[in-house]
Amino acid sequence: MIYPARPPAAAPVPPTLDVLLAGTVFFDLVFTGFPVPPAPGTEVWTEGMGSSPGGIANLAVATARLGLRTGLAAGFGDDLYGDWMWSVLRDQEHVDLSRSRRFHDWHTPVTVSLALDDDRSMVTHGHPAPEPITDLLSPPPRTRAVLADLGDPELREASWWREAARDGALIFADAGWDPEQQWDRRILTDLADCHAFTPNAEEAMGYTRTTTPEAALVALADHVPLAVVTRGHKGVIAIDSSTGERAAAPSLRVGAIDPTGAGDVFAAALVLGTLRGWPLQKRLRFGVLCSALAVQQFGGSLAAPGWGDLADWWRLTKEHAAAGKPDARETVTHYGFMEECLKGVDTRRVRRAEATIARFSDADVATDEPVAQPALRYPPPPPRPDGPPSTR
């Protein structure tokens, strides 16, 4: 008996996304440049203010601006804030919102962030989404990586990111700050399904019950292939057990004005470098660079650098090195890999946070064309007792 030939096996479907995210999007108002901290019964005029999508949008914009195909599952209100953020993320930042949903008669969560010195304080108002966001990811689309906040109980207990891991996605986990400082060690158990864990030093020491960032890093390396501990102005340390690499990268000295979203920008850069197969040292330095560029802008998500910002930084750094500035010459030595990174990338302009919600974005407008005016204008502040009106 002759049996018919067995049909060839179907080729595996390639991932449609590079990065998949899920969480809450906030409308962020960020105030910077305080002459004095605000106090009860007083009014303080600040030097700067910015409006931008916040929350999980910080990560979405950061990854998209680095050229990663980014999908976001989130709830959006049907108010004007929701309209604006949907448009910014989908049309301007090219984030895939096919797994997101607009909810009728649900208002957008709002956060006011006060950037004071090297820290920030936040005030937030909002309500839970009418439906669990995790329901939007059943089943999840195929993706190469997932960025997950294991500090969110709903997300930690959800099955979609574990399903994505079984389908080949690399899970990059964070846990965030525990306001109760109980540091639930069950999070370490959840790392069994993760590729990377990226806490800051205080969080890492809390979860591992250690007393130094270095000891915490070693402890975390027993739970996850890529353990990364960020240390603010002291830089970052990491161990990649899958390659046997251990590395550290110092921070770059910059004039920081707003730390909002700096950790998200670092995580986005780490994902990019990992997906490209970069050595650990290169991944860490690239993440430090992206964070350094972000903190020189205000506004969380819209402070994230694009490749144009990175190209401008590299050009100026090389010019300073050629002029004989010692710090610049050392930086050029450590960041020589940027020459290769910048080949063939899209260096379009990106939008920054504005004091008002602009009617149109000027991010893609050529420099010799008129720039769209904001939809709203705030009145100037009252005259100072010692001189002319201040400006915004």
CATH number, domain with residue 90: 3.40.1190.20
Residue 88 lies in a domain: yes
284 and 340 fall within a common domain: no
> Which of 141, 271, 92, 96 has its CA nearest to residue 198?
271
pLDDT at 37 over 70: yes
Q: How many domains does the chain have?
A: 2
84 and 182 fall within a common domain: yes
Structure tokens at 359: 């009617």
158 and 176 fall within a common domain: yes
Q: Tens of pLDDT along 93-130?
A: 999 999 999 999 999 999 998 877 767 788 999 999 99
Residue 382 lies in a domain: no
79 and 208 fall within a common domain: yes
Residue 371 lies in a domain: no
Pairing outcome for strands 25-32 and 48-55: antiparallel
Residue 73 lies in a domain: yes
Any idea which of 42-46, 158-162, 273-277, 295-299 has the lowest mean pLDDT?
Answer: 295-299
Residue 355 lies in a domain: no
Residue type present at position 230:
T
Percent of the chain whose pLDDT exceeds 90: 62
173 and 231 fall within a common domain: yes
pLDDT score at 376: 31
Q: What is the chain's mean pLDDT, rounded?
A: 85
Residue 375 lies in a domain: no
183 and 312 fall within a common domain: no
Average pLDDT of span 223-244? 95
Any idea which of 199-208, 217-226, 257-266, 366-375 has the lowest mean pLDDT?
Answer: 366-375
Strand segments (E) across the chain: 17-22, 25-32, 48-55, 70-73, 75-77, 101-103, 110-116, 119-125, 143-149, 170-174, 196-197, 226-230, 236-240, 245-249
Report how far residue 52's alpha carbon sits from residue 75's, in angstroms, rounded to the nearest whole number: 16
Query: H helices of the chain, where?
Result: 56-65, 80-87, 153-157, 160-166, 186-190, 201-208, 213-220, 262-275, 280-294, 307-322, 326-334, 338-341
Report how far residue 292's alpha carbon sits from residue 251's, in angstroms, rounded to the nearest whole number: 8
286 and 324 fall within a common domain: no
64 and 166 fall within a common domain: yes
pLDDT score at 247: 97
> Which of 297, 261, 268 has its CA nearest to residue 67?
268
Q: Which of the four pLDDT bands, split at 50, 70 and 90, describes residue 351?
A: confident
Report how far residue 271's alpha carbon sits from residue 147's, in angstroms, rounded to the nearest whole number: 9
pLDDT score at 391: 32
pLDDT at 188 over 50: yes
298 and 337 fall within a common domain: no
Higher pLDDT, 390 or 360: 360
Structure tokens at 29: 């108002």
Q: Which of the four pLDDT bands, split at 50, 70 and 90, describes residue 9?
A: low
288 and 271 fall within a common domain: yes
Report how far residue 169's alpha carbon sits from residue 139's, in angstroms, rounded to the nearest whole number: 14
User: 364 vs 348, 349, 370, CA distance in Å?
Assistant: 7, 6, 12
pLDDT at 26 over 80: yes
Q: Tens of pLDDT along 265-311?
A: 999 999 999 999 999 999 999 999 999 999 888 777 888 999 999 99
Report how far residue 38's alpha carbon sits from residue 389's, in angstroms, rounded to the nearest whole number: 20
Q: Measured on CA atoms in the order 46, 51, 52, 53, is the torsion positive or negative? A: positive
Residue 359 lies in a domain: no
| Structural domain boundaries, residue 336 | 306-346
**Those residues with Cβ within 8 angstroms of residue 52's Cβ, 6 or more apart along the chain or in another chain:** 28, 30, 88, 299, 300, 301, 302, 303, 353
Q: Please return the burial class of 69, using the count of CB atoms within 10 Å of its CB with bins 0-12, 13-18 and 19+.
A: middle
312 and 278 fall within a common domain: no
Average pLDDT of span 363-375? 39
Q: Which of the four pLDDT bands, split at 50, 70 and 90, describes residue 372?
A: very low
pLDDT score at 11: 54
292 and 339 fall within a common domain: no
CB atoms within 10 A of CB 311: 16
pLDDT at 384 over 80: no
Report how far residue 320's alpha carbon sits from residue 322's, in angstroms, rounded to the nearest whole number: 5
Structure tokens at 67: 């050229």
Domain C-terminal end among 253, 282, 305: 305
Residue 378 lies in a domain: no
> Which of 97, 105, 113 has its CA nearest to residue 26?
113
